[in-house]
Structure 1
């Protein structure tokens, strides 16, 4: 089975346009989340991580804001990786939950608008812009989209379908999207508090993230791989997660088993951590069932909000940076334990040797996904320079 090496990674968010800038911001305790007392996206105050309202005014008009974020993120990651995207053995996978849904808010529901709002239109536009020869693959599976896209890429590499795959994901927050979450009474009007006893809901966020995966290892010697991946479904409720956590635990177990390791090899868990009552409780049960209750757990939602289709990718990129820099990011907003099963929530910046972590995600419809990210023990030099891009 071929190894899925990470050749490069990017995050394009309100905290910065590169993975390194984003990671440094998190190490400094900076957050993109803030309160919006008045905003065209909502009639009531809400808390979110958004680009400035004028940010997209001067972008290339051939791209929508959603497509522009993807373009910027892919551009940086491809440049760092130094790959030929037009090669016959190279592919593009795009993940998103909403894409250009904003077109339906302003353009009506004509056939032309519906076609332009579809993810196929965006994927083909971006593939054409960069010169990908192969037809892009689209992953749209609620909030596990980014994680599932990475698992899909690993499986395509394992099967020998491609040698290199660019995996990119993004979402932007529109009035339509925000109102949907508000209808569930799930949106907090203050900084979210993952796993905290006083948590009251999510913050949404917008961003793009990209990883370039390949069967070829990077020349630098700083090799991180996707060791394994797992997917499951609760079959419980369209919006409510499992009450037992057994299904997310199943996905985590699958990822760990595929990586050929045991739970005690996991240095930390990057959880979904939405700061909603039921999700956080479900995750606490799943982490215990997976035997990871002693591993440090963090949630990045206090820095970025929930970036939907980009979340799994964006948070995996921070995991990669954490492994390369031997640093675990703390959970912003957490103060008082409040989950049904106790967790070892990381509350301060931890610097120590790291080799392996789990990134987990869950979403509407009961979907769950997890990946194991680890330093490639056969191709890793502790003295190799860390990518500063």
Structure 2
């Protein structure tokens, strides 16, 4: 099999509308999380990272595309169009399109929405993105809870290795909506303070929003500086609970083992872990157990939820793109919000942004329904 690369990329978030700006803000430990007091969404104040609607509209207007689009569609089209333009790739019958999201246009179900309720169908979202940007093939929609973003990378790699596509564009995204916030709040996972992944005093998750886009390709020519090779990936479902992860970390362990086997690496080859780190009691504990089972407890680790909150279907791809830039910049970025160890097994949390030679990182994610995914990436020398 030929090498498959993660190539041109874009992040749209409260920290910026391009990957470089976002990474620069993370380097300076700037967070997009803010206290929101809107009783129309929740009866109590909450912390979240929300992209200003005015900025969304301004970014979309530069495209000069006519039509009536939802807020999510505007952000996805804008982000993905930047990656298509940067890559200079023609959209042919050898080009795939993947959308990863957990809820899509869920906001159109609001009684005040002016959009047809059909717009909430994920297949409809796929058609809008495909037709607006001119893709030839039908859209693949990946909606597998919070592993969707990184699972899409694994799926794109497999399509390319199977000879179905040469290039696959991925766009991932979810929004902060009343439906999502009340859902997390209903099972007491939503924190009323800034999230603190892996910290002893963590009280839960902050929900944020972001869009991430990337090109996955087998073309080794004209790659951007931060491009990486996808060495291996794996996915496993522990089937433990509709919302709770396995207490033994079994599904995550199997995902990591599968990724390492394909990549032909061991824990000693991995320079750092870009973990899921939602700041919920069970998720962080499960990850600590899984990493230690695999002799990965000493590997430098961060969670980026303190910068964006949990961006759901976008989180895995957003954090992977930051990992790409981390390798290129030879920089470990601090895990914002961490102060005191709060898991039963030790973890090597990155507490200070540090310059260090880097070559390989692993991205992990876990989600509702017991889904787990891991992928391993290597710098191109």
The TM-score by the shorter chain falls in which range?
A: over 0.9
Larger mean CA deviation between 293-302 and 55-64 belongs to 55-64
**TM superposition score normalised by structure 1:** 0.93
Matches for 1:266-281 after TM superposition, within 5 Å? 266-281=270-285
Please give the alpha-carbon distance, in whole angstroms, between the structure 2 residues aligned to 1:21 and 1:126: 25
How far is the alpha carbon of 1:333 from its aligned partner? 0.2
| 1:313-356 per-position Cα deviation (integer Å, ceiling 9, x unaligned) | 00000001101111111100000001011100000011111110
Among 360, 363, 376, the residue aligned to 2:364: 360
8 Å contact 1:95–1:146 — kept in the other structure? yes
| 1:76-104 per-position Cα deviation (integer Å, ceiling 9, x unaligned) | 1111111112x121111000000011111
Among 86, 91, 96, the residue aligned to 2:96: 91
Please give the alpha-carbon distance, in whole angstroms, between the structure 1 residues aligned to 2:142 and 2:53: 28
Which residue is equivalent to 1:198?
201
Please give the alpha-carbon distance, in whole angstroms, between the structure 2 residues aligned to 1:181 and 1:274: 12
**TM superposition score normalised by structure 2:** 0.95
Please give the alpha-carbon distance, in whole angstroms, between the structure 1 residues aligned to 2:278 and 2:270: 22
Larger mean CA deviation between 90-99 and 113-122 belongs to 113-122
Please give the alpha-carbon distance, in whole angstroms, between the structure 1 residues aligned to 2:255 and 2:191: 29
Which residue is equivalent to 1:67?
73
Please give the alpha-carbon distance, in whole angstroms, between the structure 2 residues aligned to 1:221 and 1:186: 39
Please give the alpha-carbon distance, in whole angstroms, between the structure 2 residues aligned to 1:95 and 1:221: 23
Q: SS state of the match for residue 184, structure 2?
A: helix
Which residue is equivalent to 2:351?
347
Q: From the superposition, tell whether residues 143 and 71 of structure 1 become closer, same or farther in structure 2 (CA, over 3 Å).
A: same
How far is the alpha carbon of 1:263 from its aligned partner? 1.3
8 Å contact 1:300–1:315 — kept in the other structure? yes
How far is the alpha carbon of 1:55 from its aligned partner? 4.4
Please give the alpha-carbon distance, in whole angstroms, between the structure 1 residues aligned to 2:247 and 2:307: 27
How far is the alpha carbon of 1:6 from its aligned partner? 1.9
| 1:10-62 per-position Cα deviation (integer Å, ceiling 9, x unaligned) | 10001101010100010011110011133532221111111235545676662
Among 126, 144, 155, the residue aligned to 1:152: 155
8 Å contact 2:8–2:223 — kept in the other structure? no
| 1:192-221 per-position Cα deviation (integer Å, ceiling 9, x unaligned) | 000000000000001100110100114257
Matches for 1:144-293 after TM superposition, within 5 Å? 144-220=147-223, 222=225, 223-293=227-297
Q: SS state of the match for residue 25, structure 1?
A: helix
8 Å contact 1:171–1:308 — kept in the other structure? yes
Please give the alpha-carbon distance, in whole angstroms, between the structure 1 residues aligned to 2:45 and 2:188: 13
Among 91, 95, 103, the residue aligned to 2:108: 103
Q: SS state of the match for residue 225, structure 1?
A: strand
How far is the alpha carbon of 1:247 from its aligned partner? 1.4
Among 70, 83, 86, the residue aligned to 1:77: 83
1:17 aligns to 2:17 (yes or no):
yes
Please give the alpha-carbon distance, in whole angstroms, between the structure 2 residues aligned to 1:299 and 1:129: 34
Instruction: Provide the alpha-carbon RMSD of the alignment.
Output: 1.7
8 Å contact 2:57–2:74 — kept in the other structure? no
Runs of 5+ in structure 2 lacking a partner?
Answer: 62-66
Please give the alpha-carbon distance, in whole angstroms, between the structure 2 residues aligned to 1:258 and 1:188: 38
Please give the alpha-carbon distance, in whole angstroms, between the structure 1 residues aligned to 2:316 and 2:223: 25
| 1:239-286 per-position Cα deviation (integer Å, ceiling 9, x unaligned) | 111011121011011111111111110000000000000000000011
How many residues get paired?
Answer: 374
Runs of 5+ in structure 1 lacking a partner?
Answer: 381-389
8 Å contact 2:273–2:300 — kept in the other structure? yes
